[in-house]
């Protein structure tokens, strides 16, 4: 019984990992952007200094193929003081300053300011650049151009540390399960953000009795996560780092989670009886073609 589970989920996880070409492509683009901004703000051309990855790339939870990369760029405090002394939506003005500097390097690229980021739309990948100013004691001030503009305190380092701790605690299963659920969300167009999924997976694993087990248990792990997720409708959590901002996850995704749970129940039954293809077809309804329909043992 359950002869195909371990190999199926090993292959699913492998299919969700970035390949070397995708990593190299992102690194090339990131180096060019960081070097450009360093010349503009720090009078140097270093390709890595003052820039660091956040979001799914920073936390190691990105799913193949990647859509975008989140990059924090630390600007001098003098820039913060300069724009803070201006009139109007100074956050929007700062994003336009970043946009202008990047357009000098990439004149044929679609570059625009959008809320908290400068979006650099390369053909193969989008880089979202976040101007950031360190806060004494931890965290960063970033732009929020909405509602006339304001500075928003965030702590992406706390999110990265939280994911590292969870992945160590659960023997690598936190990132594996996050990537799988992100793939479901992408395949089924589920209105759950990536960092919502990351938080919910960590919370689920803390109460799962087999959270530290290998892929042989992942059919049950996925099944039980969807049951857990359904129970979280209209709830939320405090934003990691500041523990002040409440994140409401609503319930717009609930019907899709219920369908996924039903499919996972069916798949688990087929896996138990070693009906390879029928199990694979049920998993495919959840994860798309990233999961193998049939498994060779």
Q: What is the pLDDT of residues 61-73, one digit of tens each?
A: 999 999 899 999 9
pLDDT score, position 241: 65
Task: For residue 288, give the 3-state DSSP assignment.
Answer: helix
53 Cβ contact partners less than 8 Å away, ≥ 6 residues apart: 30, 69, 70, 71, 72
Q: Report d(CA 152, CA 244) in Å as an integer.
A: 12
Mean confidence (pLDDT) of the chain: 95
pLDDT given for residue 244 in this prediction? 73
Q: What does the pLDDT read at residue 245?
A: 79
Of 211, 203, 209, 247, which Cα lies nearest the Cα of 229?
Answer: 203
**Mean pLDDT over residues 123-127, rounded?**
94
Per-residue confidence band for 220, with pLDDT thresholds at 50, 70 and 90: very high
Which pLDDT does position 288 carry in this prediction? 98
| Helix and strand element counts for the chain (H, E) | 11, 9
Q: What is the predicted pLDDT for the residue at 240?
A: 73
Among residues 224, 203, 14, which one has the least CA distance to residue 6?
A: 14
Q: What is the pLDDT of residue 52?
A: 97
| pLDDT tens digits along 17-52 | 999 999 999 999 999 999 999 999 999 999 999 999
- Answer yes or no: are the C-beta atoms of 294 and 187 closer than 8 Å: no
pLDDT band for position 238 (cuts 50, 70, 90): confident
Give the pLDDT mean for 169-194: 97
Give pLDDT, residue 261.
Answer: 98
The β-bridge partners of 223 are none
Position with higher pLDDT, 240 vs 126: 126
pTM metric for this prediction? 0.94
- The alpha carbon of residue 160 and the mean position of all alpha carbons in its chain are separated, in whole angstroms, by 11
Mean pLDDT of 179-185: 98
Residues 296, 192: contact at Cβ < 8 Å? no
Percent of the chain whose predicted confidence (pLDDT) is above 90:
92
Round to whole Å and give the CA distance between 297 and 295. 6
Nearest in space to 92 (alpha carbons), one of 108, 114, 74: 114
Per residue in 140-177, pLDDT (tens digit) is 999 999 999 999 999 999 999 999 999 999 999 999 99
Pull the structure tokens for residue 120: 């650099």
Residue 242 pLDDT greater than 80, yes or no:
no
């Amino acid at each position: 019984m359950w002869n195909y589970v371990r190999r199926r989920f090993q292959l699913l996880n492998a299919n969700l990992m970035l390949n070397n070409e995708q990593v190299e492509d992102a690194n090339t683009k990131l180096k060019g952007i960081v070097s450009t901004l360093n010349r503009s703000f720090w009078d140097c051309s270093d390709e890595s200094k003052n820039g660091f990855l956040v979001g799914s790339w920073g936390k190691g939870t990105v799913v193949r193929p990647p859509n975008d990369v989140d990059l924090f760029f630390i600007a001098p405090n003098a820039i913060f003081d300069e724009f803070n002394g201006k009139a109007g939506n100074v956050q929007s003005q700062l994003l336009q300053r970043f946009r202008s500097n990047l357009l000098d390097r990439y004149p044929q690229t679609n570059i625009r300011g959008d809320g908290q980021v400068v979006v650099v739309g390369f053909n193969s990948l989008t880089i979202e650049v976040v101007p950031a100013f360190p806060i004494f004691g931890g965290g960063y001030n970033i732009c929020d151009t909405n509602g006339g503009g304001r500075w928003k305190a965030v702590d992406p380092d706390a999110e990265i540390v939280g994911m590292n701790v969870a992945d160590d605690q659960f023997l690598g299963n936190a990132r594996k399960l996050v990537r799988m659920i992100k793939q479901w969300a992408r395949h089924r167009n589920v209105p759950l953000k990536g960092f919502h999924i990351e938080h919910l997976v960590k919370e689920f694993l803390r109460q799962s009795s087999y959270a530290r087990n290998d892929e042989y248990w992942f059919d049950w792990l996925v099944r039980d996560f969807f049951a857990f997720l359904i129970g979280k409708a209209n709830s939320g959590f405090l934003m990691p780092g500041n523990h002040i901002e409440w994140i409401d996850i609503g319930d717009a995704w609930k019907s899709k989670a219920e369908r996924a749970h039903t499919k996972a129940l069916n798949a688990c039954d087929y896996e138990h009886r070693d009906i390879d293809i029928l199990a694979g077809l049920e998993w495919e309804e959840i994860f798309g073609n990233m999961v193998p329909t049939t498994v060779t043992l």
